[in-house]
Amino acid sequence: MHYPIDFKDRFEDTLLFWMERFIRHKLNSLSNRQVKDKDRLAYVIKKLTLGTDSIEELADLVKEARNAGLIGINTYFKPLEKLYRYLIMMGPASMKEIDEEMIVDFLTSETGGLSDATKKNHRIAMINFFAYIDKQNLDDSGNAHVYRIELKNWGGLKGKSGQKLPEYLTEDEISKFLEAIETYPFRSDVAARNRLIIKIILYTGIRVGEAIGLRIKDIIPEKDIYLIKILGKGNKHRVVMIKSKHIKSDLQEWLSLRNCENELLFCNKKGTTLTQAYISRIVEKILMSAGIRKEKNGAHMLRHSFATLLYRKSKDLVLVQEALGHASLDTSRIYTHFDRDKLYKAASIMDDIE
């Protein structure tokens, strides 16, 4: 269904309307493979169809969708949330006053200090949002207002976007972190569960989303190891291993307590899937208890820590790719930046000249 570009009387209401429509569109187009709570997602879509009263209410619905399993929705919404507040501050009277120059001004002022990868996400969100409006707006005469936002010459991001070096734990920090896992005062009914899921992520490098989606049948004992079957991005299957000595006691304790739906290995007190946000909060609390401070303290850092250590000890980029389930070797190449031996050779190249 098409709508006039200035669908509401007030600019802020119209802008919110188009953001609601776009977010609803993205909810229906993003991969729903990780969605565990279909009713929760259906509720969000229904609310978006009816409309929201504020950007805060829209943010709450996006959070609901993310907790239901549509993790990627934040990539689009967070930049749009910033754009909403920026445009309200600038005070245009009509959606037609927005142009590429205004969007470039917004990106320049709002993304300073961010990594190129995050800037790229902001750029993608802007292009997708206005491309959506281009296709969906139509006035009574059958004419559409077309933005054609391309951002090809945005100075904040030229050429291919770079990647910020990921945060990771050093070997000493990993040792401290593991000690802190054992001593952290979890509630008795969730202690084994929390230790188990965090150790699995740290010792195997699997994604947080992959860990919370594990089922009982996916973890298979074999001699002194457990084989763990992973369903990764793009519905690609792989197998990782973890030595049983690292998790056996926690696994046995949790299996004696768990009461989960759909054969889930991990669940909350309601029997449903844990959220990624919950796991990241646990990791952050353990890091704080161990006196470890990082720029990013979420659970995804454990995956970076595993990958960094794996490459340092093996110098095998293909092994890193296979272990982490990367579709491309280029994605794994980020961890070569931590190869101290190669960097030392580079630092020593002028020694003979001296």
Read off the pLDDT of each residue in 59-67 and give the average, rounded to a whole number: 92
- Residue range 86-106, pLDDT digits in tens: 999 888 888 988 988 889 889
Q: Is the pLDDT of residue 164 over 70?
A: no
Same-domain status, 286 and 232: yes
Q: Examine the fold and report which residue of 136, 163, 191 is the final residue of a domain before the chain moves on.
A: 136
Of residues 24, 300, 304, 311, which has the active-site annotation?
A: 300
Q: How far is residue 323's CA from residue 207's CA, in Å, rounded to a whole number?
A: 11
Q: Is the pLDDT of residue 297 over 80?
A: no
- Residue range 264-290, pLDDT digits in tens: 999 999 999 898 778 988 999 999 999
- Residue range 168-190, pLDDT digits in tens: 899 999 999 999 999 999 999 99
Instruction: Tell me whether residue 350 is in a domain.
Output: no
Q: Is the pLDDT of residue 160 over 80?
A: no
The pLDDT of residue 158:
52
Instruction: Tell me whether residue 353 is in a domain.
Output: no
Q: Is the pTM of this model over 0.75?
A: no
Read off the pLDDT of each residue in 223-248 and give the average, rounded to a whole number: 90
CATH of the domain at 252: 1.10.443.10
The pLDDT of residue 218:
96
Whole-number average pLDDT of the chain: 88
Of residues 36, 123, 246, 326, which has the active-site annotation?
A: 326
Read off the pLDDT of each residue in 299-321 and give the average, rounded to a whole number: 89
335 labelled catalytic: yes
Of residues 24, 176, 193, 303, which has the active-site annotation?
A: 303
Q: Is the pLDDT of residue 354 over 60?
A: no
Of residues 147, 203, 311, 335, which has the active-site annotation?
A: 335
The pLDDT of residue 228:
95
Instruction: Tell me whether residue 147 is in a domain.
Output: no
Instruction: Tell me whether residue 145 is in a domain.
Output: no
Instruction: Tell me whether residue 59 is in a domain.
Output: yes
Of residues 40, 233, 248, 281, which has the active-site annotation?
A: 233
Confidence grade of residue 108 (pLDDT, cut at 50, 70, 90): confident
Same-domain status, 239 and 304: yes
Q: Is the pLDDT of residue 348 over 60?
A: yes
Q: Which residues pair with 242 in a beta bridge?
A: 226
Burial degree of 234 (CB within 10 A; 0-12, 13-18, 19+): exposed
- CB atoms under 10 Å from CB of 143, counted, come to 11
CA distances from residue 306 to 113, 166, 176 in whole angstroms, order as listed: 27, 12, 15
CB 283 within 8 A of CB 297: yes
Helices (H), 51-72: 55-68
Instruction: Tell me whether residue 142 is in a domain.
Output: no
Same-domain status, 213 and 337: yes
Confidence grade of residue 165 (pLDDT, cut at 50, 70, 90): low
Same-domain status, 184 and 127: no
10 labelled catalytic: no
- CB atoms under 10 Å from CB of 54, counted, come to 11
Q: Which residues pair with 228 in a beta bridge?
A: 219, 240
Q: Examine the fold and report which residue of 90, 118, 136 is the final residue of a domain before the chain moves on.
A: 136
Q: Which residues pair with 3 in a beta bridge?
A: 137
Backbone angles phi, psi at 226, to 5 degrees: -115, 130
Confidence grade of residue 161 (pLDDT, cut at 50, 70, 90): very low
Same-domain status, 220 and 288: yes
Confidence grade of residue 338 (pLDDT, cut at 50, 70, 90): low
Same-domain status, 112 and 178: no
207 labelled catalytic: yes
Label residues 236-256 b or e (16+ Cβ within 10 Å = b).
Answer: eeeebebeeebbeebbebbee
Read off the pLDDT of each residue in 22-43 and give the average, rounded to a whole number: 83
Instruction: Tell me whether residue 148 is in a domain.
Output: no
246 labelled catalytic: no
Same-domain status, 313 and 260: yes
| For the chain, percent of residues with pLDDT exceeding 90 | 56
Same-domain status, 176 and 119: no
Same-domain status, 207 and 331: yes
Of residues 207, 246, 304, 311, which has the active-site annotation?
A: 207
**Secondary structure (DSSP) of 194-223:** HHHHHHHHHHH---HHHHHT-BGGGEEEET
Same-domain status, 103 and 44: yes
Same-domain status, 220 and 336: yes
Q: Examine the fold and report which residue of 89, 119, 136 is the final residue of a domain before the chain moves on.
A: 136
Range of the domain at 51: 11-136
Same-domain status, 187 and 287: yes
Tokens of 72: 């990627």
Instruction: Tell me whether residue 250 is in a domain.
Output: yes
Q: Is the pLDDT of residue 154 over 80?
A: no
Our count of domains for the chain comes to 2
86 labelled catalytic: no
